[in-house]
Structure 1
Amino acid sequence: MTVPVPRPAPPAPPVRGDHHDLATFGYDQQLRRGVGSFASFAAGFSFVSILTTVFQLFGLGFSFGGAGFFWTWPAVFVGQLLVALCFAELAARYPISGAIFQWSSRLAGTDVGWFTGWVMVIGQVLTVATAAIALQAVLPAIWSGFQLVGGPGADSAPTSPTGARNAVLLGVGLLVVTTVISIIGVRLMAMLTSVGVVIEILGVIALVVALATHAERSPAVVATTEGAAPGSYLPLWLASSLMAAYVMVGFDSAGELSEETHAPRRTTPRTILRALTLSGLGGLLLIVAGLVAAPSLTDGTLASGGLAGVLTSRLGDVGGRILLAAVAVAVFACTLAVQTSGSRMVFSMARERALPFSSVLGAVSARTGTPVATSVVVGVGAAIALAVNWNQSAVFTALASICIAMLYLAYLGVTLPLLVARVRQHRAPQPGRDDVGFDAARTDEDGRPLFSLGRAGIAVNAVAVVFQAAMVVNLAWPRAGVYDLTGGTWWLQWSALLFIGTSLAVGALVHRRNRVRHGGAIVLGAVPVAAARPAEVGAP
């Protein structure tokens, strides 16, 4: 009798429907898929928003490192690109909202994932507030009538009493608008951020060309330390790198919108990388243009006035205001993108009953297809953070610095478990699994292999982890020049460590209460992952 020889199983067919793909993770399609390829890119690019953040923070970087602070930009870009490559791999394998929380949970278990998501939510809420307050650096410069506190003749500098209070009013007004848009639907959000990105890209090109044609010096000035603060240069250079670190975050926003993106396994990895790469190139050109066109590098005006001062001094009132209008559009798009990203993170955690009031926060409106409550919560949380600026702008400046440290810490909660999973899979390969422990037979929506770093994965991942750990230390270092603008408030100088420690302590209480209330570990979809090995987690 002949025994038939079993044939190898054919490769898994490409995903035929986004709804079915999501169901393999145990989720119903509740959010509406209204995000295309460009809108996905726009979400990440708007979060980074080089016009918003470079304008806002150019003076900070220059005040420490002088012209040589330029070199912090490519250094941070390379480090973040390694992180983005790791995120692109995970985005192809886990196209689920609340990406940072989901990825960390599926790699390291839901306890680690919960704290990663908790830190990310706090960082996102603070980032929304930081983005919204940037209007103060733009609108009064366009028209003095935007200075509502004290009238058109009042000091509009964000650090002045009248400027700080006006920043709260403008920021809260912007948050009302972005919250309403987030509630209406993802299609409107995608359309507005896409338009905003087009305007921002055109604005960056126009600004670079305009400043380059008014150059005062050669680009070779970046090889000098002209304009740097006195003292040993290495500590100053490390402090100046905070500007680049502040800017190049949020490229993962495309992953937060995975459940609302068409063909996310194919689209999201590409848009994550494109958003960071284009932002890196545009920001580099902006910095060079600002340095070569600045009237002076040594009289203190560049550190205090930043790029806005260079723009108005070189292009005059009319030309400067036109380009500042593009910056205002970028601020709007940035605030909208960050708020949307934060609301999806809260929704993803609440859907797993991982947060208080989960039944409300995890609900999706049948009419708009959006998580209404989470959009409101993120908007209100950002407004509360903004209110701190009313009487003490130094406190808000500290919070703005802390929020980026929180984001880097949350990113580390993904890349470090991912590295552990890679090493385990490398030492004890499991048949049918790729280098991150995922089903190797899975393909994207076009039937092509999922984005993968292949053999370079461990090396890329390891350097990314080292970079992120170093940046967390650098960001949280208690520098008085960053955290204590009052010059003598000890708790402000140490506010990063105090805030992070307090956030983790409060998070531990919330998480413990939640576990007791729901009788144990969080369950992701239909798969209890807390006790699973990282190489086995989440693979459909």
Structure 2
Amino acid sequence: MSKHTETSSGKDASEDARLLALGYRPEFNRVLGLFADFSLGYSYMSPMAGMFALFATALVAVGPPFFWTMLVVLLGQLFVCLVFAEAASAYPIAGGIYQWARRLGGQRWGFLTAWIYLFALIGTGAGISAGGAPFLSVLLGVQPSPEFNAIAGISIALIAILANFAGTRILARTTEIGVWAGLIGLAICGGYMLVFGHVQPVSVLWDSFGRGEGNYTSALFFASLIGVWIFYGFEACGDLAEEVSGASKAVPRAMLMTIICGGGSALLMTLGLLFALPDMQSAVDGTLADPAGAAVLQVMGPVGMKITLVCLLAVVISAVTSVIASTSRLLFSLGRDKMIVGASLLGTLKGPRRLPVTALWVTATLTILILSIGFVSSNAATQIISFATTGVYVSFQMVVIASLLASLRGWRADGDFKLGSAGLVVKVIALVFGIASIINLMWPRTPEAGWLSNYLILVSIVVIVALGLIQMLMLNMPKEPLQGQSSPSI
């Protein structure tokens, strides 16, 4: 036996022992290394796809200064990531934030966190799939329509679903393709265009070109949503923790790599696109429909544009693959703990690949059903992603709250990654940032559209929480903390 194999076996034995101590029998195959786990988070974040999808919206809102709002959001999410890294190291269990909230805040708090996150994940997977349709229509030269967008979105989701059913190793390879595609995009947009396509002065980063006049602060908050919509996904590194070798060390490292590398990629690509944009005024005025594409076409030509579109599609597919994997592991974790209807089926692994097959089928079916809404709604992707992002941030802050209260009551992390004496400060900053982000996401900005349109996200969250409370009562879920939990429940 090689030294590497011995080392890996030792790490796996240690992780299995920790899992047993937390009350679970090791069932998954630990086939993911650090890079594969990082790929799950980076692919989910998909900074390249997010940047291209939201670039025009941010420019129209406040002009090029939207770049500075991205920096602020990235810094805020870094604090959230640090909180998650500590929890993931202490509780490297499949299901990620559900398990962290459950261990730190009690059974009911954990279930509600998981319930909100579940709907958000399903919406995210469908939303990203639908968001890939415009890239495919440009690549194929097809006129977009609700029917085409729906078919394209479903096709993207089906590829991701097949990758998940093929096993964890294939899943990892698919998400790694997204990383390499993103790096190619970074080389084009953040490297080549920044160096050789530079036509705008640096001062453009402070020039609003007349946008946001009258209430520039409000416009900046709206523009900051580009960062809010992009800079998450690092939590996916913990969703498959039981399939990661040396999870207590690897998962926190993968999370931090995701937020730093993904955030850095998005910032560099933003600079490349801004400095290479030939007609900034038209882009800011909204008369240039696709400023990101115009910048690439100007510098790289038609061939470079096609390469960029192929990379974008690869990023989208890998992102959906990662989200579906996270959703299925969340369902499995809920099922294993008898915390959801159909638990006996959802909480079971099947086959030599040790996959949560039933959970995957449920995830796949719900994703396709949501994408089918696109046949009758032309803006389905925007609606789905707006709700899903808010749901993700709400569930994030439920983990942060649980971690903060647990620390105040004396909980001390015992994993390889610890925040130590800085923990309370980090958690308070993460909470303040998260609450501000949720308010920003829910803020009504179109009074002319009517009450329901403005408060649809808030109403959706309330309905989902109500349904979760009903299921909690149906399952007669105890409030008491878990056996061996060192902090009382919320």
Band of TM-score, shorter chain: over 0.9
**Alignment-derived partner of residue 6 in structure 2:** none
Residue type of the alignment partner of 1:174: I
8 Å Cα contact 2:329/2:359 also seen in 1: yes
- Looking at structure 2, the residues matched to 182 and 370 of structure 1 have their Cα atoms a distance apart, in angstroms, of 9
Question: Could you tell which deviates more after superposition, 256-265 or 220-229?
Answer: 220-229
CA deviations over 1:80-119 (Å, ceiling 9, x no partner): 0001111111111100011111110111111111000001
- Looking at structure 2, the residues matched to 377 and 197 of structure 1 have their Cα atoms a distance apart, in angstroms, of 27
**Alignment-derived partner of residue 66 in structure 2:** 69
**Alignment-derived partner of residue 257 in structure 1:** 240
Secondary structure at 1:298 match in 2: helix
- Looking at structure 2, the residues matched to 51 and 512 of structure 1 have their Cα atoms a distance apart, in angstroms, of 43
1:125 has 2:110 as partner? no
- Looking at structure 1, the residues matched to 460 and 291 of structure 2 have their Cα atoms a distance apart, in angstroms, of 28
Quote the offset at 1:224 in angstroms. 1.9
**Alignment-derived partner of residue 177 in structure 2:** 195
Percent sequence identity is 26
**Alignment-derived partner of residue 418 in structure 2:** 452
The correspondence of residues 228-377 of structure 1 with structure 2, limited to 5 A, is 228-299=211-282, 300-301=285-286, 304-377=289-362
CA deviations over 1:361-391 (Å, ceiling 9, x no partner): 1111133211112122222222222222222
- Looking at structure 1, the residues matched to 287 and 29 of structure 2 have their Cα atoms a distance apart, in angstroms, of 46
- Looking at structure 2, the residues matched to 397 and 225 of structure 1 have their Cα atoms a distance apart, in angstroms, of 25
Secondary structure at 2:70 match in 1: helix
Quote the offset at 1:175 in angstroms. 1.4
Question: Could you tell which deviates more after superposition, 166-175 or 133-142?
Answer: 133-142
**Alignment-derived partner of residue 417 in structure 1:** 402
Residue type of the alignment partner of 1:332: I
**Alignment-derived partner of residue 3 in structure 2:** none
Quote the offset at 1:301 in angstroms. 4.7
Tell me how many residue pairs correspond in the alignment: 477
Quote the offset at 1:310 in angstroms. 2.5
372 and 308 in structure 1: CA distance in 2 versus 1, 3 angstrom threshold: farther
- Looking at structure 2, the residues matched to 284 and 14 of structure 1 have their Cα atoms a distance apart, in angstroms, of 36
In proportion to residue count, which structure has more helix?
A: 2
TM-score (norm 1): 0.84
1:78 has 2:75 as partner? yes
Residue type of the alignment partner of 1:459: V
395 and 335 in structure 1: CA distance in 2 versus 1, 3 angstrom threshold: closer
- Looking at structure 1, the residues matched to 227 and 419 of structure 2 have their Cα atoms a distance apart, in angstroms, of 25
1:172 has 2:154 as partner? yes
8 Å Cα contact 2:157/2:317 also seen in 1: no
- Looking at structure 2, the residues matched to 136 and 181 of structure 1 have their Cα atoms a distance apart, in angstroms, of 19
Quote the offset at 1:311 in angstroms. 1.8
Among candidates 464, 475, 495, match of residue 456 of structure 2 = 495
8 Å Cα contact 2:112/2:468 also seen in 1: yes
**Alignment-derived partner of residue 474 in structure 2:** 513
509 and 231 in structure 1: CA distance in 2 versus 1, 3 angstrom threshold: same
Secondary structure at 2:444 match in 1: coil
- Looking at structure 2, the residues matched to 88 and 261 of structure 1 have their Cα atoms a distance apart, in angstroms, of 14
Residue type of the alignment partner of 1:184: A
8 Å Cα contact 1:398/1:495 also seen in 2: no
8 Å Cα contact 1:68/1:222 also seen in 2: yes
Secondary structure at 1:393 match in 2: coil
**Alignment-derived partner of residue 56 in structure 1:** 53
TM-score (norm 2): 0.92
315 and 27 in structure 1: CA distance in 2 versus 1, 3 angstrom threshold: same
309 and 134 in structure 1: CA distance in 2 versus 1, 3 angstrom threshold: farther
24 and 303 in structure 1: CA distance in 2 versus 1, 3 angstrom threshold: farther
- Looking at structure 2, the residues matched to 254 and 380 of structure 1 have their Cα atoms a distance apart, in angstroms, of 24
**Alignment-derived partner of residue 151 in structure 1:** none
Quote the offset at 1:285 in angstroms. 0.8
8 Å Cα contact 1:437/1:535 also seen in 2: no
274 and 303 in structure 1: CA distance in 2 versus 1, 3 angstrom threshold: farther
Q: Unmatched 5+ residue regions in structure 1?
A: 1-12, 148-153, 157-161, 426-435, 444-449, 523-527
Runs of 4+ in 1 over 6 A off after TM superposition: none
**Alignment-derived partner of residue 42 in structure 1:** 39
CA deviations over 1:173-222 (Å, ceiling 9, x no partner): 12112112212210111122123212211221222233222222113211
8 Å Cα contact 2:328/2:356 also seen in 1: yes
**Alignment-derived partner of residue 388 in structure 2:** 403
- Looking at structure 1, the residues matched to 210 and 324 of structure 2 have their Cα atoms a distance apart, in angstroms, of 36
**Alignment-derived partner of residue 525 in structure 1:** none
- Looking at structure 2, the residues matched to 536 and 513 of structure 1 have their Cα atoms a distance apart, in angstroms, of 23
8 Å Cα contact 1:67/1:228 also seen in 2: no
Secondary structure at 2:64 match in 1: helix
Quote the offset at 1:137 in angstroms. 2.2
Secondary structure at 1:535 match in 2: coil
CA deviations over 1:376-410 (Å, ceiling 9, x no partner): 22222222222222222235422211111110000
- Looking at structure 1, the residues matched to 321 and 11 of structure 2 have their Cα atoms a distance apart, in angstroms, of 33
Residue type of the alignment partner of 1:271: A
Residue type of the alignment partner of 1:493: N
Q: Note the aligned Cα RMSD (angstroms).
A: 2.1
Quote the offset at 1:492 in angstroms. 1.8
8 Å Cα contact 2:87/2:413 also seen in 1: no
CA deviations over 1:38-87 (Å, ceiling 9, x no partner): 00111111110111111111122222121111111110011000011111
Quote the offset at 1:353 in angstroms. 1.1
Secondary structure at 1:291 match in 2: helix
Residue type of the alignment partner of 2:121: Q
- Looking at structure 1, the residues matched to 450 and 127 of structure 2 have their Cα atoms a distance apart, in angstroms, of 22
8 Å Cα contact 1:41/1:274 also seen in 2: yes
352 and 452 in structure 1: CA distance in 2 versus 1, 3 angstrom threshold: same
- Looking at structure 1, the residues matched to 318 and 386 of structure 2 have their Cα atoms a distance apart, in angstroms, of 21
> Could you say which structure has the larger radius of gyration?
1
- Looking at structure 1, the residues matched to 31 and 287 of structure 2 have their Cα atoms a distance apart, in angstroms, of 43
- Looking at structure 2, the residues matched to 438 and 214 of structure 1 have their Cα atoms a distance apart, in angstroms, of 48
8 Å Cα contact 1:125/1:378 also seen in 2: yes
**Alignment-derived partner of residue 462 in structure 1:** 428
Among candidates 435, 438, 445, match of residue 479 of structure 1 = 445
- Looking at structure 2, the residues matched to 30 and 249 of structure 1 have their Cα atoms a distance apart, in angstroms, of 28
Quote the offset at 1:231 in angstroms. 3.4
- Looking at structure 1, the residues matched to 413 and 77 of structure 2 have their Cα atoms a distance apart, in angstroms, of 24
8 Å Cα contact 2:189/2:273 also seen in 1: no
72 and 194 in structure 1: CA distance in 2 versus 1, 3 angstrom threshold: same
- Looking at structure 2, the residues matched to 353 and 278 of structure 1 have their Cα atoms a distance apart, in angstroms, of 37
Residue type of the alignment partner of 1:490: W
